[in-house]
Every structure is written in C-alpha cells, then in structure tokens.
Amino acid sequence: MTSALLIALAEAAGAQVYKCGNTYSQIPCGENSQKIAITSTSPSQHPSDGQGVQPQTTQAEKLRQQIRASQNKRRLHDLENHLIPNLKRKIAANSEKCNQAISNLESSKIYYMKNVAILNARKMHEITQQCQKKADAMTARLRRLEEEAQGLSLSK
C-alpha cells in the first residue's frame, strides 16, 4: 500500500498513522515510531479571506508532499548512485566485449581460407549490428535516466 493511499485511508477512517524513519505505517514500528494524528480540514471550516474559497493545506496533504519529496529524493539517489553508473559500466563492458569479438574474428581471417574469412565477415557484420542496437538501446535508457535525475535534482 503506498504511503499516500495509507494517509488517505487513515484520514477517511480517522485512524492513526505512525512515521517510522522515512516510511509511514498504521502499526507502531518500535520505540522510535512517531504517532501522527490525521485531521481533515475542509474549506467550509475556515473563514474566507474575500478572494474566493481557498482551502488550507490539510495535514494529510502536507504528509503526502513530504512522502513525494522523500520518494523523489530516494529515486534521485538511486539514479545518481546506482542506475546511471551501473548502466554506464554495462555500456562500456558491452562495447569492449563486442570489440573483442570483432577483433578475434578479424585476426582469424588471416589464418583461414577465403570461405571462412567470408563467413567471418558476415558474422562481424551481424555482431556489429547487434552491438550497435544494444548500445543504442542502453544509451537511450541512460539518456532517459539522466533526464529524470536532472528533473529530480531541479525539483529539490
């Protein structure tokens, strides 16, 4: 159950929510759990300031915002410290593996007959195409992850 859904359900049922480190639970999570009373504020409970009805932010909405910020921070951390560096390493390793496979086939052309060299040339072409496809896909994913990380770092 997501934290936002937990808060919405707790608000509707008048239940308690406990903050357990960076997560929220309906069950106390130990000595360090922090009990959070969920109270709903409706627009009709607050006087209008003459500029139309603008409801005050409820405690549940503040918690939702904290949860979203926490989730964004965690995702940014994962992107910057795990996903992007790991994908860059995979791209480099894949490129090296492909280059080595092609190099092995190129060197074998010298030692084999003409027909074998022709077969190797076809294999090299296939390997080059496969490697390029894989590199393009990983590079596109890397670009998307970097854009996501940049978006999250700008929203800090």
Q: Kindly list the averaged pLDDT for each block of 10 residues, start to end, along the chain of length 156.
A: 55 65 72 68 47 64 90 93 92 92 75 70 90 93 92 81
Q: Which residue segment(s) compose the domain that 138 sits in?
A: 77-156
Do the domain assignments include residue 19?
no
Q: Which residues pair with 34 in a beta bridge?
A: 19
In a domain, 60, yes or no: no
SS3 49: coil
Does 4 fall in a domain?
A: no
Q: Give dist(CA 109, CA 120) in Å, integer.
A: 7
Whether the model pTM is above 0.75: no
pLDDT at 39: 58
Number of domains in the chain: 1
Q: Are 59 and 38 in contact (CB under 8 A)?
A: yes
Chain centroid to CA 23: 18
87, 152 contact by CB (below 8 A): no
Q: Is residue 32 situated within a structural domain?
A: no
Q: Does a structural domain hold residue 139?
A: yes
**What pLDDT was estimated at residue 130?**
92
